Structure 1
Amino acid sequence: MGTHEISPPKELKDSSGLIVGGTAGIGLATAVGLAQAGAPRIMVVGRSTERGHTAVDRISSANSSCEVTFLPEDATTVDGAAHIASEAERILGGVDVLVSTTAADVRPELFANIPTDDIARIFNQLALPCMYLASEIVPHMTARKGGVIINVASDAAKTATPGESVIGAAKAAIVMFTRTLAIEAKRSGIRVNVLTPSLVAGTGSTERITSDGFSAKLFAKAAQQAHLGVPESEDLAALAVFLASPAARRLTGQAISVNGGISAA
C-alpha cells in the first residue's frame, strides 16, 4: 500500500481554470465547482456577454477570493481558439485545467433528412473546437510539464442512436482525439479525459432537443431508462472537478459516461 494520502478535490488552490463554454450548463457548473474547490483564477469563455457577466457573478459567489474573468469569443474558429489561449496565458498566468464544452445549435435528425451541405458544418462545429483549443494550450502545458484537459462529448460517441449519425461521428472523434492525445501527452505530465453524458436536465441543449419533433420523442424514451435520475449539470461538474484534482493523478485517456442508467456505454 502506498504512503501518499488521497487528495480530496478541495485541493485545487494552485490550479487556474479555463472553461470554454463556461457561461451555462455543464461548463458553468464546472467553473463553480472549480471555484468551490479553491481554484484561485478562472476564465470562462462564451459568445453571450449577458450570460458571461451572470456567470462571473455566480462563480464569484462560490469563492469570493477567486479571480474570475469572462472572455467573449467563439471557439469554433482557429482564430478564436488562438485568441482564447493567448488571453488565458496573459490573464491567468497559465492554464492548469482546460475544460472544453462548447455547444452547437444542432438537433438530432435521421441521416436521410440531413442536407449534404449541412454535414461538414455539423461535424466541424461539434468536433473541432476542443482540438483547436488543445492545439493552442498543450504547448504551454508541455513547457510547464503538466496540466489537465477535460473534454465533453456525449454517449452518442459510444451507442448507435437513430438521429445521431453525424452527431455521433463528431462526438466519437472527440473521444478518440482525447484518448490519443492522452497517450501522446502523458510524458509531459498532461492528463486528458472526456465526459460523455446523454441527457442533462436543465441545459439549453436538452431543452432544444426535447422541445418538439423527432428528437423530442427519441429522448423522452431515453429519459424513461434513466432509473437513477436524469443527470444534472452538477453531476458532470463533480466528476470534472475530481478529474482536475490530484486524486485523479493516475487517470488519463478515459471516456466516462454519466447518464443515470440510460445505457452502459
Structure 2
Amino acid sequence: MNARRIDEAGALIFGGTAGIGLASATALLRAGLPRLVIVGRNAGRGAAATAMLSESHPGAEIGFLACDATQPDQVQAAVESAAGAMGRIDILVSCAGGDPMPRLLHTIPLDAVMPTIGMIAGGVILPARAVLAHMTAQGGGAIICLASDAAKVATPGETAIGAAMAAIVMFCRGMANEAKRNGIRVNCLTPSVVGDTPLYAKLKADPFAGKLFGKAETLASLGVVEAADIAAMVAFLASPAAARVTGQTISITGGISAV
C-alpha cells in the first residue's frame, strides 16, 4: 500500500505539547497536515500548545487530550477518542518517555530500577501498540517512536535509561516486522543532546548530567541538534517519500556518535 499523503492524513502525537513532540506537530502542519491531536499530561500546557498551533495553522483541525502515556487504560481511551475525532489515525508520533535524569546505577534503589525502565519505555511503547488495531483495519499507517542514542552507546549514568531506550528500539523493530504485511511502517529516532527542549534545561542545571552532556556537546562537530532537526525526519518518515522505509533506528546527533 502507498503511504497516505500528509495533506490527507490525521496525526496523533503523544508528548506533543512541548519539545520534540511540539516541533513534530509544527513540521507536519507546515507540510499540510489537516487534522492533528496532541496528547500530554498537563492540561494547561496542552491548551497553550493547541492555541499556538491553531494560530499559526488556522486551516487545520487541532485538538488536545490529557493522558498519562504510561497508563494503558488512559492511552487506549486517548487513541479511541482521537480516532473518533479525526476519522482515522494515519500518523503516530510517540515521544512521551518522560524526562529521565542520568543517575549512576548504584544510586538507584533496587526497587526503583524496573519502575524507572518501565516508565520510560512504557510512555513510548503503549501508544504504538494502542494504534495497531486502527492502522491494521484501515490498511496502513506510519509510526515514529522516539528513544535516544543511549540505546546504542553505553554511558555512565545511563544504564537504566539505556535499557529502556533499547527496549523501545527492539519493540519498533519487532513491530515493524509483524505489521509490514498490513501496510504499517514503524521507525525509531535516537537523538542524543537536543539543545532547545525542556529536558535539556534540566540536564544542564544538574551537576552530574550537566557535566556528562557538556562533554557530549563537544563531540557535536555538525552542531548541537535542535528539536526542529528531529521533526524534519519525523515529517519525512510520515510521508510517501519514506513509503518503503520501516524497521529502522536512525541516530540524529550532530556527530556525537556515529552508530
Return the TM-score normalized by structure 1.
0.94
Instruction: Measure how far apart 1:129 and its partner are.
Output: 2.4
Alignment match of 1:178 (pick from 154, 172, 176)? 172
Q: Following the alignment from structure 1 to structure 2, what is the Cα–Cα distance between the partners of residues 192 and 50? A: 31
Q: Following the alignment from structure 2 to structure 1, what is the Cα–Cα distance between the partners of residues 201 and 143? A: 27
Task: Give the AA of the match of 2:6.
Answer: L
Alignment match of 2:142 (pick from 117, 136, 148)? 148
Unaligned runs of 5+ in 1: 1-6
Give the match for residue 214 of structure 1.
208
Contact kept? 2:91, 2:141, Cα under 8 Å: yes
Alignment match of 1:113 (pick from 107, 111, 119)? 107
Alignment match of 1:53 (pick from 23, 43, 47)? 47
Give the match for residue 195 of structure 2.
201
Give the match for residue 93 of structure 1.
87
Equivalent pairs: percent with the same residue? 48
Alignment match of 1:131 (pick from 125, 133, 154)? 125
Alignment match of 2:222 (pick from 216, 223, 228)? 228
Instruction: Measure how far apart 1:118 and its partner are.
Output: 1.3
Task: Give the AA of the match of 2:96.
Answer: T
Contact kept? 2:91, 2:238, Cα under 8 Å: yes
Instruction: Measure how far apart 1:62 and its partner are.
Output: 3.4
Deviations 1:225-253 (A, max 9, x none): 11111110000000000000000001000
Give the match for residue 20 of structure 2.
26
Q: Following the alignment from structure 1 to structure 2, what is the Cα–Cα distance between the partners of residues 128 and 138? A: 15
User: Which SS does the other structure have where 1:13 is aligned?
Assistant: helix
Give the match for residue 67 of structure 2.
73
Unaligned runs of 5+ in 2: none
Contact kept? 2:97, 2:123, Cα under 8 Å: no
Moved more, 189-198 or 73-82: 73-82
Q: Following the alignment from structure 2 to structure 1, what is the Cα–Cα distance between the partners of residues 167 and 235? A: 23
Deviations 1:116-148 (A, max 9, x none): 121122111111123221222111100111000
For these two proteins, the number of residue pairs brought into alignment is 257
Task: Give the AA of the match of 2:175.
Answer: L
Q: Following the alignment from structure 1 to structure 2, what is the Cα–Cα distance between the partners of residues 25 and 238? A: 13
Q: Following the alignment from structure 1 to structure 2, what is the Cα–Cα distance between the partners of residues 144 and 212? A: 46
Contact kept? 2:14, 2:96, Cα under 8 Å: yes
Pairwise CA RMSD: 1.4
Task: Give the AA of the match of 1:14.
Answer: E
Alignment match of 1:244 (pick from 220, 238, 244)? 238
Instruction: Measure how far apart 1:57 and its partner are.
Output: 2.0
Give yes or no for the alignment of 1:259 onto 2:240: no
Moved more, 173-182 or 80-89: 80-89
Within a 5 Å distance, the mapping from 1:10-25 to structure 2 comes to 11-25=5-19
Give the match for residue 158 of structure 1.
152
